[in-house]
Amino acid sequence: MNDTATDTRSVIVERDLPHPPEKIWRALTEPHLIAEWLMQNDFQPALDHRFNLRGDWGAVDCQVVEIEPHTTLSYRWDAMGLASIVTWTLTRTRAGTHLRMEQAGFRRDQERAYEGAKFGWQKFFAKLEQILTRTD
């Protein structure tokens, strides 16, 4: 039996940022800030909350599946046939925070989505870092 559920790939982006986890958490969970670096949204930091992310190219249906303030945020990310999970992990460091984002669940036949996500998350992270440098 071919188990395709385990035959998936992830996009992982990691950064060491000179900001405390609480500040990064706000950028990941406050709708007006999410809109500045990711997409328009109706996010709420509550377990099982269903929300949408809306961009020029379309929308993403999401649902919060894990939330631990200032440490972990995980949500379903379903768009254009891609059913994935995005997990943010914040680890306090001496210099600030190690931020890790993993988008898991790309099937082998979703090469375009995988490559698009690798490109897209680099852009999103660049915008996120800009916002973090100018917000309190």
Does any domain span residue 3? no
54: domain range? Answer: 28-97+113-136
Each residue's pLDDT tens digit, 74-97: 999 999 899 999 999 999 999 999
Q: DSSP secondary structure string, 83-132?
A: EEEEEEEEEEETTEEEEEEEEEEEETT-HHHHHHHHHHHHHHHHHHHHHH
CA-to-CA separations, 54 to 39, 73, 109, in angstroms, rounded: 6, 19, 25
Does any domain span residue 10? no
Mean pLDDT of the 43-65 span: 95
pTM above 0.75, yes or no: yes
Q: In what order do the strands lie in the sheet with 96-107?
A: 8-17, 96-107, 82-93, 72-79, 58-68, 50-55, 40-41
Close Cβ partners of 23 (under 8 Å, ≥ 6 residues apart): 132, 135, 136
Is the CB of residue 25 less than 8 Å from the CB of residue 90? Answer: yes
Does any domain span residue 87? yes
pLDDT of 136: 66
Each residue's pLDDT tens digit, 4-44: 456 899 999 999 999 999 999 999 999 999 999 999 999 99
> Per mean pLDDT, which range of 3-17, 95-109, 122-136 is the poorest?
3-17
Does any domain span residue 14? no
- Tally of CB atoms within 10 A around 22: 12
- Tally of CB atoms within 10 A around 30: 14
Burial class (CB in 10 A: 0-12, 13-18, 19+), 21: buried
Does any domain span residue 40? yes
Q: Number of structural domains, the chain? A: 1
Where residue 80 sits, what CATH number does that domain have?
3.30.530.20
pLDDT of 1: 41
Is the CB of residue 116 less than 8 Å from the CB of residue 9? Answer: no
